[in-house]
Amino acid sequence: MTIGRADRPQGLGRGLAALIPQRAPSIGGAIEIPLDTVSENPRQPRLRIDPGALATLAASIREHGVIQPILVTEVAGGYQLVAGERRVRAARLAGLERIPAVVRQLADREQLELALVENLQREDLDPLESARAYRQLIDEFAFTQEQLSERVGRARSTVANTLRLLELHPAVQAAVAEGSVTEGHGRALGGLPHDLQEKVLATVVDDDLSVRQTEELVRRVREPRDPTTSTVPKTTDPELERVEEDLRRALGTKVRLARSRRGGRIVIEYYSDEELGRLYERLIGGTA
């Protein structure tokens, strides 16, 4: 009797592959791995996860499953998470036992870089978390700001401004991280000495000042009126105020006019290299 292909015993003639359980591949090269074998990433740049958002994600996972695989690297006894911490936490909250994952062998530098890039692309990091991750890449792996900006897809000036947040008073850093004030507020307050930043921060929060108002407050604190000049207060010179407002509209930035006995001065403020280039082009009629 001839045995047909469909009647042949399974596992014969197929070598070790028939005897050893194989990872089940899925779309995009992902496999299903046990959640209890996934350990945290010690280089995870994100420090805080909103409990409400996590609960919402867990509810979605219960209904639809984990749509996008996490990224892990193999370590002794299991896997170490590289990217996808929210998905892992939400999957555990949803009661899942397994999760789709892409497994890659990565060095420490690559793990931090990929975790940072993924969170930045999703805009999941607060400004302070981004700043600390940037600093870690620079300090531990000798990235230049130029290299860092290329890797994370941010302008070099943006990276530099974010790094400056680490120089702020701890109270201001905490306010930025919690969302009490924005990154723009933090940069404005950075123009003051540490001992004044916390005091001015309280005024900014209590009075709900905008970034522009905060910049003006910082300027007044930093540059008290010079008694040797006879600057005409704006409130007593409507014409000067009108000219100042026209210049602000034309240039799209803060402009101050100050008269003195021998004429006066025009102060045009800018807040990034890109804005300086725009002002240069508008004033000169060409690119810098």
Active-site annotation, residues = 85
Nearest-5° Cα angle at 222, 257 to 256: 10
Is 230:258 a contact under the CB 8 Å cutoff? no
Instruction: Tell me the three-class secondary structure of the chain, residue by residue.
Output: CCCCHHHCCCCCCCHHHHCCCCCCECHHHCEEEEHHHEECCCCCCCCCCCHHHHHHHHHHHHHHCCCCCEEEEEECCEEEEEECHHHHHHHHHCCCCEEEEEECCCCHHHHHHHHHHHHHHCCCCCHHHHHHHHHHHHHHHCCCHHHHHHHHCCCHHHHHHHHHHHHCCHHHHHHHHHCCCCHHHHHHHCCCCHHHHHHHHHHHHHCCCCHHHHHHHHHHHHCCCCCCCCCCCHHHCHHHHHHHHHHHHHHCCCEEEEEECCEEEEEECCCCHHHHHHHHHHHHCCCC
Mode of pairing for the β-strands spanning 70-75 and 98-103: parallel
Q: How far is CA 182 from the centre of its chain?
A: 12
Residue closest to 163 by CA, chosen among 134, 129, 126: 134
What backbone torsions phi and psi does residue 141 show, to the nearest 5 degrees?
-120, 10
